Amino acid sequence: MIKKIIEKIFSTPAQALEAVIEDTEKVVKSISEQKPIKKIEEYWNTLGPGLITGASDDDPSGIATYSQTGAQYGFQLIWLALFTFPLMAIVQEMCARIGLVSGRGLASNIRIHYPEWVLYTCTLLLFIANTFNIGADLGAMAKATQLLFPQINFSLLVISFTLICLGLQIFTTYAVYSKYLKWLTMTLLAYVVTAFFVKIDWFDVIKHTLIPNLSFSKDQIILICAILGTTISPYLFFWQTSQEVEEDILKGKTTVKLRQGATDQEIKQMKKDVWSGMFLSNLVMFFIIATCSATLFAEGKTDIQTAADAAKALKPLAGESAYLLFAVGIIGTGFLAIPVLSGSSSYAISESFGWKNGLFLKLKDAYPFYGVIIVSMIIGLTLNFIGLDPIKALIYSAVANGVVAPPVLILILLISNNKNIMGERTNGKFTNILGWIITLIMTAAGIAAIISLFK
């Protein structure tokens, strides 16, 4: 059944996605007369940039990292899913608040208030990291599709995925495109469902979740750094801030002056959105580690390198359903994450140079903005044809993120505490304490990632 659905999706023209979304919304609306369903619908309608940002963090590269964690160490590191949740949410909440209150994206705020050389350096490294990640994700999507349809050529799949992602970003209106991304977050539930197709000792899982356990081996430290890098990623900072601006523009706030400031209700809704998105992200991380621990680690299959490897290894251990769900999840999360990766690069570069930017703009009105997206996607596509190993691509991406994350986190903390920018919406004491702790942790992770590259 799942295979038929996938086949139908891949035979559907890109423009028909709007009709699919509309039909889905009609179904939801038709059953929303019941009170519990009505509450769920109201909650769903409050979610937006935070949900999409959190879900996009679980891209095929992240899935590969979490699968490796479970396969190599069992339940030992599953506590990281709980540990990174509040850290991730606090950072994204600061970013969202900056966008809401200042009416500008993160890069625009840095350009106006802080040294330009810092911004240009961070933006360049962000572009490099995101492009490597895009290349790895495109390859992972193609490999996952080949698991389901072995007869389809890898090159054809990679090119097709690139063109579909580009077409949706460039030729679809932001109002429709944001809905498309929002519904794609539901593909992450495939990893939650997968866990219930395998036998898991939930008492053991809960014990390891609540009681941290480390062996302090070199490989484990590097893997933890990779988890932190793929969970608290710089591209999420820029995307979250700019999406809050896009949402305001969608509401008719077309100038910076109109967008500046935020009501208590807007801040409350933003927090609900952000924390929900980050919860979903870490919940999926939790279930992927649990599934791979109970199957791959239990059977001694520790040589997992990619998300496709994990899906393939699950088939004889967890059955056809788990295998299909895992593979479908890779494809769905790729479609969700790749536009966020290329889009965040474009927001950062466009805002750095003061170019017109935003997915609400048409191609003819923002050639430089869409040009960055196109270049990033083409380079990512090319990486799959020059023999670059996807694991090496992810290592390079992790190192670039390790360099970018600490200075950008410092700038986020400075901006979110600047009364000239934020007015009365500056950080509270708890947020500041946790924010600086996160910065120190990410600095240590970045140094470890760089050291690992040269060893």
> Average pLDDT, stretch 106-110?
93
Q: Which amino acid is at 367?
A: Y
pLDDT at 324 > cutoff 80: yes
Predicted pLDDT of residue 145: 92
Predicted pLDDT of residue 6: 46
State the greatest distance between any 2 C-alpha atoms of the chain, in Å, as a whole number. Answer: 61
* Residue 269 banded pLDDT, cuts 50, 70, 90: very high
Dump pLDDT digits (tens) for 343-399.
999 999 999 999 999 888 888 899 999 999 999 999 999 999 987 777 677 767 777
pLDDT at 406 > cutoff 80: yes
* Residue 307 banded pLDDT, cuts 50, 70, 90: confident
Across the chain, mean pLDDT equals: 85
Query: With contact defined as beta carbons under 8 Å apart, do 55 and 282 qualify?
Result: no
Judging by beta carbons within 10 Å of its beta carbon (0-12, 13-18, 19+), is residue 30 exposed, middle or buried? exposed
Give percent of the chain above pLDDT 70.
90
* Residue 207 banded pLDDT, cuts 50, 70, 90: very high
Q: Say yes or no: domain 59-454 is CATH 1.10.3210.10.
A: no
Judging by beta carbons within 10 Å of its beta carbon (0-12, 13-18, 19+), is residue 159 exposed, middle or buried? middle
**Segments making up each domain of the chain, as ranges:** 59-454
Calculate the alpha carbon distances from 200 to 14, 32, 70, 203, 265 in Å. 39, 35, 13, 9, 42
pLDDT at 253 > cutoff 90: no
Dump pLDDT digits (tens) for 22-69.
665 665 565 555 566 777 777 777 788 888 888 888 888 888 888 888
Dump pLDDT digits (tens) for 150-168.
999 999 999 999 999 999 8
How many CB atoms lie under 10 A from the CB of residue 375? 16
Predicted pLDDT of residue 88: 93
> Average pLDDT, stretch 187-214?
88
Predicted pLDDT of residue 240: 93
Predicted pLDDT of residue 410: 93
Predicted pLDDT of residue 368: 94
Predicted pLDDT of residue 5: 47
pLDDT higher at 21 or 135: 135
Predicted pLDDT of residue 83: 92
Give percent of the chain above pLDDT 90.
40
Query: With contact defined as beta carbons under 8 Å apart, do 351 and 108 qualify?
Result: yes
> Average pLDDT, stretch 326-354?
90
Predicted pLDDT of residue 382: 94
Predicted pLDDT of residue 159: 95
